[in-house]
Structure 1
Amino acid sequence: MTNGHDEVEAGSKADSEEDLELENVEEDGPLLLSAQNPHPEPKSSSLRGLAQRQKRFKVAVVVITIITLSFIVLGLEFTSSNVEPELDSFQETLKVESERARELLLRNIGPRIGAGDGLVVASPSKGEKSYLPDYYYTWTRDSALVYRSLTTFDSSSNSENTSSHDELLHRAYVQSQIPIQTRSNPSGGLEDGGLNEPKFQIDGSSFLGNWGRPQRDGPALRALALIPYAHFLLDRGYPADHSYVKENLYNPDKMRGTGNVIKNDLEEVAHRWWKGGFDLWEEVNGHHFFTLIVSLRALQAGSSLADRLNDSGAQEYYSKQAESLERKFESFWSDEKEHYLSSVSSLNLDDDNDDAAIFSLPDRQWSDCSLPLSLIHAGDQIDIDNYGYSNNTVIGFGPADPKVISTIYRYIQSFDGLYKINNNKRSWTQGWALGRYREDVYDGVGKSKGNPWHICINAIAQSLYLIEQRHYEQGYIEPTEITNSFWTELMNERVNNDRRVERYERKFELALRRLREVGDSFLNVSRNAMELGERMSEQIGRDNGKPIGARDLTWSYASLMTAVKAREDAVSKADNGVKGA
């Protein structure tokens, strides 16, 4: 490699050679030819002088042009470097923090934390102090969401850009789940509901204590975490890859059994999705939006995988159950409250599912953090299997859907005036600390008053980035009666319900810029509550903003990583000038 001095010398030598060539050019050549005088006269001193002057003039013009262009380029660089220096710096800061969050998250997996290989521990907290809970277990839900955040096996993945470490992680996860699936537990066994058991000991053995069970989102989330990996292996196409899929993930020749991790979960979801269970907060027994939408996505992705593996019977059954499940989401929409309800007592099922229970629910608004979590983990912006093989109708639950935007807005608004740490912020657009739901009484250890949670604050940040990205893609904003307040408060400018805001309008640019700015404000609430600038607890003190509850919560780290990734995607879409459809 040459150094700068060598490059200068080489350049000088080239310039000298060019001068020599110019000096050797016939000075009475084409420069002196014209239509009026196509035949040059014999050489003379006057003609040579004229040619030399013309040559010097050309050289001067070239030099002046180069100098001018240099100033223009420098000016542009200076201008661009001053347009968004803080933005570029913020992105780099977030990248560093996300990578650090990944490092801290990985410490909570496997032998490093004393667990079985591939098992995700929710937190190192063992209840060793009075202000710490005992989260030293592995949850099916948390594990699936964590592995989903670590690596995305999508259509662009291959053996070159997927690290061996990422693949080893997923294989360890698969192997950890094989015995868990077949182990008898308080929820049952492989054939009769045991896959809905929410948590296990860190060695994979059953937890036998009292708990909110069953929780039916676990099998669906685990299937969604592993189906992209199955497609990745099938695409890579080695005989060993195909064998691994059949022996460990999905065997089309049997319905359930050991070493059939994905298909076991899909069979469970397909045959019991309409039955009730406890919500992801492990508190309420009923029918839950989050559980049903991840179940829908699992069935849709599972139908695609079954089709690829020539399992036609399973493909048809999963697809049929997905269509039946999709029709039940109307039970969750409230015209009066203008948001989806997080839980309902009944799904208003038909005769095919007459064994579904009807539940009695506590008196609540049913506007909670599970709704933005539903968007980021199962919204229609997601290619459900990361390979685009789905042949199912997808429910319209996405970032540009007015009902979704209204649901997100009402959830945020439900915390107005609740937490002291938000008192110095006049508007939600400045970034509020948010908790699970307004009526929450879980304080991280016992029951008193609920606090903000990192996963909920980051879920809103990520939701806003997704809303920004989707509107960039579609190229317009369509305010409605139920979203008018959201857009008006976001932009601090009145919007009309009866007209579309097009890409070329000032308001379009303003709205999307504000979506990112407000998303950043929420993300900063979570970032500013990190202990020592990097450690993330489960909760944030509602009065003082200090870490509270379980320390080093694995899901908290994952929530930061996925929010930062969503922001990067939104920035990339905007920078690349995505056109509307």
Structure 2
Amino acid sequence: MKVNSTTLVIPLAVLTALAAGPPILAQRQSSLDDFISSERDIALQGVRNNIGGGGSLVPGADPGIVVASPSRENPDYFFTWTRDSALTLIMLVDEYTNGDGSLQNLIEDYIDSQAILQTVTNPSGTLYPAGLGLGEPKFYTNKTRFDGTWGRPQRDGPALRAIALMEYSDSLLESGEEDRVKNVIWPIIYNDLLYVGQYWNQTGYDLWEEVQGSSFFTIITQHRALVQGSILAKEIALDCAPCGQAPEVLCFLSSNFWNATGGYLTADINVSNVNRSGINTDQILGSIHGFDIEAACNARNFQPCNSYSLATLKVVVDSFRDIYPINNGIPVGKPLAVGRYPEDTYFGGNPWYLTTLAVAEFLYDAVAQFEKANLLTIDDINLEFFKDIYPNATTGTYRDNTLDNVLASMTTYADGFVSVVQQYTPPNGSLSEQISKTTGEPLSAYDLTWSYASFITMAQRRDGEYVSWGYNEAEQPPATCSATSYNATGQYTPATAAGAPEVDKSCASQVEFSVIAPTTFGQNVYLVGNTSLLGGAVNDPSAVILPMNPGRITPSRPEWFIDIYLPAGVPVEYQYVLQQSDGSFTFDRTTYVVDVSPCGGPLVRTQDTFETGS
């Protein structure tokens, strides 16, 4: 990672004009500057408070474990999510790179914790042989498995963790610590890159943990991870075979997500379990985490200044104008509180701090890219976005005064979203997950780590702290996309130099369990069996540890499934279990036996139907 720092977030001529503007404008700008300065310090301390090994709000959490929130009920967020933790660490690494050396111990503790977490057997699977366990979204804060039902797998976590560790590795290489990068940190990174290369073209759950499909956010982060992996591998004289998938990932990303009818990038494709518009801040978050200050606006990975990205921003922001009472009366082209997606019902469906901040960060990113290029192209795709903030906008290519004026309007627009956050931030500066859509009060999990991290990354961009991760070194996509993947089975290895334990590498073969099991809201299906990975026994409530995946359920076919590797050549007795909404269990009246393939044998699939009664 390269960080470019400059105080010129907008052109000097624009700053001069602002300084000479009306006193009310100057006072408002000063007030916002003061808020961001003080809140940035509060946010960084908020992140520190939520990291185990010393965090004041998360007693009992292991060192280096990033806790999502101290909240333990309504909702219980006292867990560590791979995605949230990695996004937080990317921010911390940027702060460290920019001079805050006090963060290094936290980063090193995180590295140690992740080496161990990679090896924890969980409902998604194991590290060896096929890395399936790396797709597990969350763990308890003592680095043990969470056996409850959840949206599994989530394929953005490994990519983001790899990015966080690669950015830190860049700073270590600049300090001459190549041996540490190569022998201690790279093995963790490589496991995650193997996973990305192997599973990028398989569906998983999105960053909101609700939709199973191919997520824009996930794909854009996977591409970045593979490109950075290729660059880092060359720097330390190693090979990154799975990184060769990057051009195909970019081809998939650039060819499939544009909704031409709606005029926006859709959040998910290949979806079977929900029916939504696809309007979602998933794309905004994806764009800012793929942001590279050196990339061109027509880059194939939808940079913030890209016309399709800007058109999407308008559609996403406008979707929240009429559904939140606190936004009532705010006209088009004016900042407001932003939620996740318009169909959201979680906690009643509300604006979130981190999504509102993401819009501001996106706009600061785009301004920086236009400023660096000293060129602005308004076309038919992004015209409506620009007309909202600069009514005189017309299609064309602009430089000089027109460019300065438009960027000034964009910066003011971005500042407005931060002002919305300021309006709904309590006096102590704490940031929860959500903002009540009716009262503006903080709602849901309090002291949310991701909210704090999002505030800091927004402030970094507003202060002119930009990143370049190497997009311009990426191989461009082929003319025709192919559904390829890298077969990494058998290559996953614990990062023992970073403290990971050895894992069982006995030969195992893949089994996909599938059952037709009609359920109602609050019910879930589990799998048990007479092998340890399935809990060790049938007809035993204490053995119920492995939830099945509902991602294939359709109105006409209630199919639950799970992929798992079991000891090769050993028959396994198994049984399905229906968990009732009150937590009790109803066991399938039938127990089954599956003949697991011998070592090197083919995938075995079961097709069963849940039966109750005697």
Higher relative contact order (CA 8 A, sep 6+): 2
1:273 partner amino acid? W
Q: Does 1:502 align with 2:399?
A: yes
- Confirm or deny: 8 A CA contact 1:434 1:452 kept in the other structure: yes
Q: Contact 1:220 / 1:265 at 8 angstroms: preserved in 2?
A: yes
Larger helix proportion, structure 1 or 2?
1
Q: Does 1:451 align with 2:350?
A: yes
Give the 3 Å change call, closer, same or farther, for CA 565–341 of structure 1 in structure 2.
same
Q: Look up the SS of the partner of 1:326 in the other structure.
A: helix
Q: Note closer, same or farther for the CA distance 1:558–1:405 as it changes in structure 2 (3 Å cut).
A: same
User: How many angstroms apart in 2 are the aligned matches of 1:570 and 1:266?
Assistant: 27
Stretch deviating more after TM superposition (530-539 or 195-204): 530-539
Q: Does 1:126 align with 2:51?
A: no
Partner-residue secondary structure (3-state), 1:439: coil
Please list, as runs of the form range in 1=range in 2, the aligned pairs for 1:9-48 lying within 5 A after superposition. Answer: none
Partner of 1:435: 339
- Distance in 2 between the 1:223 and 1:196 partners? 13
Aligned to 1:408: 313
Instruction: Quote the Cα distance in structure 2 between the aligned partners of 1:151 and 1:175.
Output: 15
Distance 1:176 1:319, change over 3 A: closer
Which of 188, 191, 213 matches 1:286? 213
RMSD: 2.4
Residue 153 and residue 98 in structure 1: after superposition, are their counterparts in 2 closer, same or farther (change >3 A)? closer
Q: Identify the residue that residue 152 of structure 1 maps to in structure 2.
A: 94
The normalised TM-score by structure 2 is 0.68
**1:118/1:565 CA distance change after superposition, 3 Å:** same
Contact 2:431 2:452 (C-alpha < 8 Å) held by counterparts: yes
Greater per-residue strand proportion: 2
Q: Tell me by how many angstroms 1:93 deviates.
A: 3.2
Matches within 5 A, 1:450-469: 450-469=349-368
Alpha-carbon contact 2:63-2:109 (below 8 Å) kept: yes
In 1, the alpha carbon distance for the partners of 2:22 and 2:149 equals 59
Report the 3-state secondary structure (helix = DSSP H, G, I; strand = E; otherwise coil) of the residue aligned with 1:244.
Answer: helix
Where structure 2 has 5 or more consecutive residues not aligned to the other structure, the ranges are: 1-18, 467-614
1:370 maps onto 2:282 in alignment: yes
For 1:340 and 1:222, the matched residues in 2 are separated by 25
Q: Kindly state the Cα deviation for residue 166 of structure 1 after the two structures are TM-superposed.
A: 1.6
Is the contact made by 1:178 and 1:261 (CA closer than 8 Å) also made in structure 2?
yes
2:424 aligns to what? 529
- Say whether residues 1:325 and 2:252 are aligned partners: no
Counterpart AA for 2:189? I
Report the alpha carbon displacement of residue 476 of structure 1 after superposing the two structures with TM.
2.3
Alignment deviations for residues 112-146 of structure 1 (CA, whole Å, 9 cap, x no partner)? 3121001010011101xxxx200000000000011
Whether the aligned pair in 2 keeps the contact of 1:475 and 1:502 (CA below 8 Å) is: yes
CA contact (8 A) 1:153 1:228 kept: no
Aligned mate of 1:94, from 36, 61, 67: 36
Q: Indicate yes or no: 2:277 matched with 1:335.
A: no
Percent sequence identity over matched residues? Answer: 34
2:152 corresponds in structure 1 to 213
- CA distance in 2 between counterparts of 1:178 and 1:285 reads 27
Cα distance change of structure 1 residues 382 and 549 upon mapping to structure 2, 3 Å threshold? farther
| Distance (Å, rounded) in 1 between the aligned partners of 2:48 and 2:302 | 32
96-105 or 171-180, larger mean C-alpha shift: 96-105
Distance 1:570-1:321 versus aligned 2 partners, 3 A rule: closer
Cα distance per residue 1:392-437 (max 9 Å; x no partner): x96342122111111111111112311100113223x331111100
- Aligned pair count? 439
Contact 1:381 1:399 survives alignment (8 Å): no
Is 1:465–1:570's contact at 8 Å kept on the other side of the alignment? no
Letter paired with 1:339? Y
Distance 1:487 1:184, change over 3 A: same
The amino acid of 2:83's aligned partner reads: R
- Residue number in structure 2 paired with 1:165: 102
The 5 A counterparts of 1:372-411 are: 372-381=284-293, 395-411=300-316
Contact residue 332 and residue 342 of structure 1 kept, 8 A: yes
Name the TM-score, length of structure 1 as normaliser. 0.72
Name the CA distance, whole Å, in 1 between partners of 2:302 and 2:294: 10
In 1, Cα distance between equivalents of 2:213 and 2:201: 10
The answer to whether the Cα contact below 8 Å between 2:161 and 2:192 also exists between their aligned partners in 1 is yes
- Give the 3 Å change call, closer, same or farther, for CA 262–569 of structure 1 in structure 2: same
Query: How many angstroms does 1:508 deviate by?
Result: 2.3
Shift of 1:86: 5.1
8 Å Cα contact 2:198/2:242 also seen in 1: no
- Contact 1:300 1:318 survives alignment (8 Å): no
In structure 1, the gaps of 5 or more residues are: 1-77, 251-259, 346-358, 384-392, 444-448, 572-581
Contact 2:250-2:301 at 8 Å conserved across structures? no
**One-letter identity of the residue aligned with 1:342:** A
Listed as ranges, the matches of 1:535-554 within 5 Å are 535-554=430-449
How many angstroms apart in 2 are the aligned matches of 1:417 and 1:511?
27
Cα offset for 1:464? 1.2
Give the distance between the partners of 1:570 and 1:204, measured in 2 at CA.
34
